[in-house]
Every structure is written in structure tokens, then in C-alpha cells.
Structure 1
Amino acid sequence: MYRLLIVDDEPILVDGIYRLMLDFERYELELFRAYSGDEAVEVLRRNRIDIVLTDIRMPGMSGLELQREINRVWPDCKVIFLSGYNDFDYVQTALRHGSVDYVLKTEPPEEIVASVSRALESLITERSNKQFVARAREQLQLAVPYLRREWLIQLCEGETAFVKVEPQQFEELDIRLRYEEDVLLILGRVDHWKEGWSASDKALLLYAVHNVAEEFLTGCQVQLVEMDRNRFLWLLQPAGRVPEPELEPEEAWAATVRLVQGVLETIQTTCKDLLHMPISLAAGSRPEPWTNVSAAYDRLRKLLSRGLGLSEETLLFEEADAPPEGRVQAERDKHDIRALVKRLTGAEFLFESGDKEEWLRTMEEIAQALRPYYADQPFFIEIYYALASMLLTQVNRWEDEAKDDLLADLDKWIQGGLQANREEAVHGLAALAMRLFDIRKHEQDDRTSQVVDRINRYIHEHLDKDLSLTALSQIVHLNPCYLSRLYKQTTGVGLLDYITDVRMTKAKEYVVESQLKMHEITKQVGFESPAYFARIFKRKTGYTPQEYRLLGQR
């Protein structure tokens, strides 16, 4: 939808152009009128306007002065000037300040319509222009560090599956590691911050720690990931294709691991002495494929959190020998289940958007993956109560009579779920979630229906008043464009079409059943003028109002 503002100090001209543009069908237009430059400024301050059709010479604020205000408030707005004067100097000034067109008042109405069409086409072209794409790319480059951090965090925490990642993402996110090679993980923790350090101080010092690491990890490429304000992760690869070309890959990586383990104490000491920051470190004992980064990160996090009795400057290494394959697979499975649960419990947007199918699909994945671990009591309790807690959060946000029933049902599964059949308990939580989705959908439908009913009632009761989208949107406190889309989606009928149909229905009643004159009927049902009313009446019924009255009296 586009918005057109018509401005002139001659009301008859403004109203005439307004009626002319009511028949404009090429694009959906919302029309506004102003009878002075000052009135136009008020309209511009309340509404985004796409095109202004204005007289170039007006008392008070001239069209050129108005143009400067338009350029300040809505720089992309197109301005079309109307004038009774074929004044070249005015034309030059208008064009120099960004006028899109210039139409003489003596020209036929079709020229005004054509000028508005050209302005709209220019707007559409500009909004799809490559300049917008180029600007978006520039802004994306500024956001790359943030996007890279978020992506790497999601990878480490299992929210992103590496198998779905394309190699070009490494280049786009400026990840200076090789996509096709394994990576070594080192997890760090700031044991405590000096009192009085600000958030910016802490961010700067984390980068200083990273610089210290790069200084000592010679021959390695290191990617920093700030996991949160206290934890950081280094992802590391040899700077070359292999650490030592004369060695086999496994031996070369073993040499790199020995290098890393040999310098971590030095990095730790340097951070304490130079930066006054005690840090703890936990390092992997072997390189990991990218597909296993999430599980490796989880192991290091557990290792660092357990510690060995020291609260500060812990320095730990994973066991060099790989655990049995069965244990590795079980840990990987549990990690994947936790990642699924985290994705689900963190996805409030699924409830907000009503995406029932996506929620159910993820829940079924969890149920299927969890089935082999029903006998693992601690793990099952962890997953089960994570799901129950998420549902409790959603239930607590309800403020109607359904809340008590939902809480009672949820309490049954929280209290008795672990004593019941575990398959049944998990599906009980899923069924409760489906009820939440259904209740939310019912509430949304009710609210939408109330909005539509209120709009319809207002239209029927105020046919002779302003029924523009802007006026109606203020009644229900919605954006005009959104109201238009919502109404069409809900009813299948365009809001402006519905208003015209209601006005026509009432007009036909007046024409046949009353003795009102046509100009009185025009005013009663809110048409712009008798001529416009007659034109629309003829288009809708095939008869003029007078012919229709005569037919009704037979």
C-alpha cells in the first residue's frame, strides 16, 4: 500500500483530485488531503507519505518550502508539483530539490494520474534497486564479528549442526580456520574480575588474553569465541597445512598438542602478571572433526567445572587415551538430546508464532532419541524436568480460566511422571504442549474476530464519517497496512471494498425506500460527491441512482 497526500489552498481542486484518485486501481492507494502547507506538515508528521501532489505557489508555506520539509521528514517521498503558472524558474528550483514531476493545472486529469503512476513506478524501482542490496552488504560486514560469534556459540552448544554448514560460510563469517580439517579446543575461564572494571574493560581484556595466546602459540591459527562474560574458547589449527610436513598427520597433530600443553602455563602466568587476570584453562588432548566440536566443548566444560580443588588458575588436560567407543557414542547421543531440548526450551517464538508442527516435530525427535536412555534415571530426570519447566513457564503466562486446568494437568505429570511409564510421561508433556498451542490459537482467533467485529460495527454506525484506513486503525490501535492485511486474511474481503459495499447497500435502501435527494443520500452514506456517488452506483448496479429509484417504485 502507498500513501498519497494532495495539497492546495483551493479546496475544490484538492477534493476534485481526491475523487479522481479514488478510482485509481493500478496500485492500492491511501489518500490524504491538506488545504495548506501547514496542514500538510501535520499530516506528514503523523503518517509515512510516499507521494505528495502539491501546489507550488500557496499562501504561507509555499510548495518549495513544503518540499524541503518533506525531504527532511521522508527523504524517499516523491513530490509532484501543480501550478497554474508555466514558470521555468520554479520548475528549475523544484527539480533541483528533488521534485519527481511537474504538472500544469490546465492539463487534463489523465496527466495527473499518469504523473502519480510514474512516481509510484519510480518508488518501486528504487526500493528494489541494487543500492539497497549494496547498503545491506555494507551493514552485514559491520555485523560480521557478532554473527561469527553467534554462529560459533551455536555450533559449540549444539544448536547448529555442522553437517548442514556450507564451506562458504567460513569465508562469509571470516572464520580463519580450515573447513576441511580437524580442530583442537581450549576452554578458558576468567576466575574473577578486578573490582570496578566495566563491561568494555572486560571485553578489551578478553582480547588481550587472546593476543597473549596468539603470541605464544606460534605456528598455530587461533579463533577466539567469547562464550559469555567469563568463559572463552580457542579453536586451534596449525597455521600451515600440517604442523611439520615431514611427519605423518597423526604425529604432526601430536606435536601440536604437545606444543599447546607446554605453553598454556606460560599463557596463564603472563595473564596473571601483566593483565592481573587469573584464568583457568582446560585443553583437549586430540583434534576433533568439526562435526564433533559440540560434544568436545561439552567435555571440556565438565572438566573445567569439576576442577581439582583449586578455585583459581586451574590447568587441566583431557585424558590422552580415547574412551571406549560405546561410551563415546552414549555421550554423543546424550549431548545431541540436550541440544534438541535446549533448542526446544529456548524456542519461545514457536509458541508466540503458533508453529505447532515444528514444536511437535522436535518433541518427537527428543522422544525417539531419549527412548534408549529411559533406564538412565539421572539423565532422564534432567531431560524430563527441563521440558516440564519450559511448559510451566508458558502456562504461567496465561491469565484466563484455562490457567488453573493447565497447571493441574502439568502438576500431575511433574509429581507422578517419573513413577508412570516413561514413554507415557514424555507423551503426556507433549499432549499438554499441544493444548497450549490450541488455547493460544483460540485466543488469537477470538481477538482477531473482536477486531473485525469492532471495525464492521463502526463502519455500519459511521458511514458518513472518515472511514480511511488511518482513521479505522486508530480505533483498534493497529498499523493501517497491518489492519488491511489482517482484515483481508480474516474475511477474504478487502477492507476498502467492504466499506464501499456497505455504503452501496445503505445507499440502495435510501434510494428506494426514502424521499431523500441524491445529494442528501451522498452525504448520509459518506461518498465524496454526488457525481462520484452516481458513478460508483452505476458501476455497481448498472443503473444511475434515479433509474434505480424508478425501478424500485414499480
Structure 2
Amino acid sequence: MYKALIVDDEIYAVMGIKSGVNWNEMQISEVYEAYNMRGAVKVFEQTQIDLLICDIEMPKGTGIDLLEWVNQHSPATETVFLTAHADFSFMKRAIQLDSFDYLLKPIEFKLLQSTLAKALQSVQQERELHSLREQYKPYYELWVKKKTLLTEKFWNDLFTRRIVCTQSNVKSLLDEHSLPLAPDDRVLPIMLSVENWIREFSTKDEEMMEYAIRKAASELILTHESGEVIQTKQGVNIVVLYLNHDNQETSDELYQRCEAYIQSCSTYFNCKISCYIGEATTLFEVHDVCDKLMEMEYNNLHKSNQVYWLHNFRGNNAAPKLPEFATWALLIEQGKREEMEKQLLISFAELRSDHRLGASALEAFYHGFLQMIHYILQKNGLSAHKLLHENLSITNNPLPRSFQELEAWALRLTKVVFNYLHHNDSVIERLKCYIADHLYTVITREQLADFVFLNPAYLSRLFKKEVGESITDYILHERMKIAKELIINSTIPISEIAKTLGYSNFSYFSKMFKKVYQTNPQHYRRLSV
């Protein structure tokens, strides 16, 4: 169960939030109240608060001041800010202090509850991470002290070819590093590929979990002193299985151990991992086998959480059948978006079905598609730099590592280019229609940008240029037009009109009405009688 604290200098705001949120649904057992920073600090001194809902602008200490205090005295608390003004300096400072989120008043309770639920997920994850840290702290400290052991240094130097084993020096190297191997013994490298952490970790936590999976590999894949588990200086985890006379593993036994290891990592360490099993080799050639395992992992685009054998690897170097990019360029220039997207989906279905294709095919499509985009924009006298700069979420991401990721990237970029190339008054008209249909709900700039597939900042500039006012002002004026008509032509109480238009805070509604019509709504109704 969790505990929450609501802080606002307006008592009715506190009462509204307390009654408008389903606390039981979020497993919040206690909800405390405070009306200034001093009262909030007293609550924190008496009990552990998991979730803080706080107004930013308050006398006798702002919400920012309170968050600075909370970060020092209760760092596990997540904070959601509420504010009646979109003041960038406040928001910037809130972000710097690592607040979870901030919402503009008047608050829509459904959105507030959704945001609070996400904040509590973060609290729960932090609790679980704390438990993991405590559980593996002894191992982590041991690893920090022992990570420069001679054995680890030997294998790192061997994999990177800093040392080379030869017939003349192999015995002295083994003796120098106290390795239980004879010069003619063979070893079997197994690469552990961590493909995905199911939850996000900090750098330190990820290092701890990496150590934990290496320890698990030592227990489940190795037996007693039959090998080593090494992390190379490039961050690659490799199990080195010693195949001397006392240890002769069968393929079935090794496969079963790797399967059990993958399942354990999924269950206990929340990660997806694959095992790439090499071939038995001498110390003179083990670095070549490890290089092949790295190539095998790099080219694997189709499956995860699997055991792979190097002797089954035939290479993923088949040449892909790339689409006719020139034909696609014509479809984009002619505005045939549906046909273009259809061709994209067909092409990717063919690529995914060909399991011979690897990373080289992925890169060939990626660069071919991007080159086509640059060609189209240049031909039409448009700035590719401007487009890509305004859509950093598309262009700043690393190269996609699967055909599914590449398909999503290509579809997204196609939508952006179509809107950038063909946008005209229809974009603005569609936005106006969307706004008209949603005037009774919360409308955000990001929501509008997603609707027309444009960058939010770019959309704001375009809207103001075409309409002559900002999106925010336009929405305000449209809402107040409806309010004015209802005030003049109906007997509906003004408070109900405010609620109908999404304003749960009547004083805020009155303030916005006065901003547009230079008088409050009550006076406006009296004048119209």
C-alpha cells in the first residue's frame, strides 16, 4: 500500500483532488493534506510519503522549494506538479529537480489518475531495485575488488590479441596465470548476449545485474573449476569452457544447461539473453572463434532468447531484393500516400520472410531509403536538414536492429515527408476540425502534432503563420465563443457552462472569459438581458 500527500494553498483545490481520484484503485491507503510548505514538511517528518501532488505557485514557499527539500529528505518520493500557468522557468526547474510530471490546471481527474498510477509504477520499480541492490551488494563489492584478477586479464588479452599463444610460449603463459590447462587442451567459448533488460536500470545497477548474470552462468553453465566467465573490455560476456581430459561435455548436456540458464535470467534478472556456442578450439585460435561468435550475434535479426551453435551458422550475407526506390519517389512526389504505405508493407513482409538476410541487408535498405528522401526533398527545393532537425526523434535514434524496427521507422518518416512536402491549408483545416470536435476535452499540442504527423514545434510555427494566433489562443477563443453563445442564449448556470467546456475551476474559467471579452461572464449575461 502507498501514502499520498496533496499540497495546495487553495482548500477547495485540495478537496477537489481528494474527492475526484479513486485512491483505492491505486492501492493508496492514506491521503494527507497540507496548505503550505511548512505543513507539508511536518507530514513528511511524521510518515513516509510515496506520492506528492503539489501546486507550484504557493505563498510561504513554492512547490519548487518543497521539491528541493523532498529530494534531500525523502528521495524515494515521486512528485507530480499542478500549475495554473505554463511558466517555462518553473517547468524547467521542475524537470531539473527530477519531478515525475506536471499538469496544467484545471485538472482533468481521469488524466490526473492516469499520471499518478504511472508515478506509483515508478515507486514500485524503485522498491524492487532497492531489494535487488541489497541482495547482490556483497557480490558487487567482491567483483569491484577482484575484477583485475590475472585470469580475467589473460583472457581479455588473448581475445583482443594483445598476447598471442604460440607453441613456444603457451606453457609459460599458462603457468604465469595459474590456469588449469595443458598446452594441448581445447576450450569452448560461449558468448552471452544480453538483448534486452525488461526494466530500465541506472549504469551502476546494470553493472550489478551484469555481474549477477555472469555469476549465474558460472553456476549453471560451468561445473566446478571447468572454466571461466569473462567480461571483455568491450563489455562482451564470454564463458570459456575448459575441455581437458576431466571435462568432456556432450552437446545435449551443454544445450540443456544453456536453456536452463536463459530461463533463469528471464525469471530472476528480468532480461532476455541468448547463448552463442562456439566450437572446440586451441588457445592458438580461440580469438578467431570469438570473432565469429560476434559476427553471428550481429547478423541475428530474427530471434532472441535462444541457444545458437556456430557450426549451424552459414552467414547472413544474402543480397536483399531492394524495392524500386525511384518508383517510390514518384509515389511520394505525387502525394499517393496510401499506395506508398502499401508498397512499404509488402516490401517488409518479403524481407522478414527471408531468414538468410542479416544486418547488411538492414543497412542497405536503411541507407537506400534515406538517400531517396534526400533526393525528393532536394528536387523539390526543400531543406532536408530542416526536416530532419525538426524530427530528431526519427533521425537521432540509432540504426534499427530488426526489420520490425526498420518498418516502423520508414512508415513514420514517410508520414513526416508527405506532410512536409504536401502540407497546405488542408493541414490547418483538419486541425481546426479536430479542435472543434474536442473542445470539451483537454487538447495538448503534442496530441495535435500526432494527429497530423508533424513535429510539435514546427506545427506551432505553421499554425501561427497561417491562422495569425497561437494554437493555445485559438482553442481559448473557440471555447469562449461557445461560452458566450450559451451565456446569451440560455439560462444554464454559468458554473455549468464552465464544466461543460472542461473547466472544473470556475475562477479560472471566469479569468479566461474576461481575457477574451474584457468582462466577467456574470456581467456579460446581465448586459445581454
What's the TM-score once normalised by structure 1's chain length?
A: 0.35
What's the TM-score once normalised by structure 2's chain length?
A: 0.36
